[in-house]
Amino acid sequence: MAINVTGLSNQGNIAKSERSQKDGVAGNSKDNPAVQNGGTMAKDTVKLSGTAQTLQSQQSKINKLPDIDQDKVDQIKRSIAAGEYKIDTQKLANNMASMDSLF
């Protein structure tokens, strides 16, 4: 499997075995350390850093969260229905002004 990371390779998508044959490398483990005993190609492996593993774990936790916090929605609905929901107009105006500055 060829992986073109930078997009600068002019070889295109050439499989490892094709690339080995193209470069004149025999299927011999003495000549090519990527070839295992028995003439088969070694498999590529990827090892994630600790930070990448943490990010991957956090991403999976985030993906499991619901899109809507239904408890919060229900709490606001109850507050509005009871007439207890207070809107901080100054904070709302500041937030609207800061959003307007983004555009």
Domain residue ranges of the chain, discontinuous segments joined by +: 1-42, 68-103
How many other CB atoms are found less than 10 A from the CB of residue 35? 20
Tokens 């916090």 correspond to 69
Residue 67 Cα to chain centre, angstroms: 19
**Predicted local distance difference test score (pLDDT) of residue 45:** 87
Mean of pLDDT values over 70-81: 95
pTM of the prediction?
A: 0.35
**Predicted local distance difference test score (pLDDT) of residue 1:** 52
